Structure 1
Amino acid sequence: MKDRIYVDSNIWLYAFMKGNSEKTEKAKTIIREPGLILSTQVINELCTNLIKKANYSELEIQQAVKSLYSYYQVITIDKNIIIEASKIRLDYLLSYWDSLIVSSAILSECSVLYSEDMQHNQKIQNTKIINPFFVE
């Protein structure tokens, strides 16, 4: 079975941005992988940034949201995710929003969480955080 992979909003933002930067190309490759998962939080963050940073119209936002729900598994932030996020904050000192991302990945049984904003190679429970843009 292929790994379940949770993708944070920053990766989606690069994938949806116009242009051909190295990060954009890498992000576009990532979102073609099977088994990707995201949450309603990620969609909200993505839409906010597409409006602010990429001047997306409301029609483009609607199309992006429909596309995400059509092709990927989208989980809703619920009570269990919020409570697990609180426990994660106690142990790992993550921000409120990052802990929700990590909690969503863990409770979705993802072995990998792609994020540019968290510590590369950190493992929280059974989920490993990978910065796909990290260069050693």
Structure 2
Amino acid sequence: MKAFIDTNVLIYWVDDSARADVVEQLLAQEAVISVQVLNEFANVLRRKRAMALPDVEALCTTLIDTCDVLNLSVRTHQTALTLMARYNLSVYDANIVAAAALSDCAVLYSEDMQDGLNIKLPGPTSANALVIRNPFRA
């Protein structure tokens, strides 16, 4: 099952905690991220964690080698705008959701979005539906 992992979940991967173990398990699946997630991940590690750039680069390279990394497209952007209105999402969250849905992920793991929310892309079919799950919720 393809699963998209949001930045707010991946950040725990660099911690020495039980949550890091959960992220390791998610990465061992058919994990998908986007370039947006890579950018946000690098930004948090540099600015909030004060991690050295070579260490940030090494972690990002591991993610690139481990995950299917999606480029953002005009279609992703346009879909995100529709999802913003339909689900009251921020532009950044909507782009994450759009990327996950357009890549046929069944689940989007996020700590910050509504756990259990079912997302359906605009259109006449139920294709590209996904559910948001908090992987740390018991």
After the TM superposition, which residues 63-78 of structure 1 pair with which residues of structure 2 at under 5 Å, given as runs? 63-78=58-73
After the TM superposition, which residues 47-126 of structure 1 pair with which residues of structure 2 at under 5 Å, given as runs? 47-125=42-120, 126=129
Contact 2:3 2:105 in 1 (8 A): yes
Partner of 1:127: 130
Counterpart-to-counterpart distance in 2, 1:54 and 1:28: 20
Counterpart-to-counterpart distance in 2, 1:10 and 1:53: 13
TM-score (norm 1): 0.90
Q: CA deviation at 1:24?
A: 2.2
Q: Which amino acid aligns with 1:5?
A: A
The reply to whether residue 26 of structure 1 matches residue 29 of structure 2 is: no
Q: CA deviation at 1:10?
A: 1.1
What per-residue deviation string (whole Å, max 9, x for no partner) do you get for residues 20-77 of structure 1?
2x322222222222x1100000001111111123321111111122212112110011
Q: 1:5 aligns with which of 3, 6, 17?
A: 3
Structure 1 alignment gaps of length 5 or more: none
Structure 2 alignment gaps of length 5 or more: 121-128
Percent identity, please: 28
TM-score (norm 2): 0.89
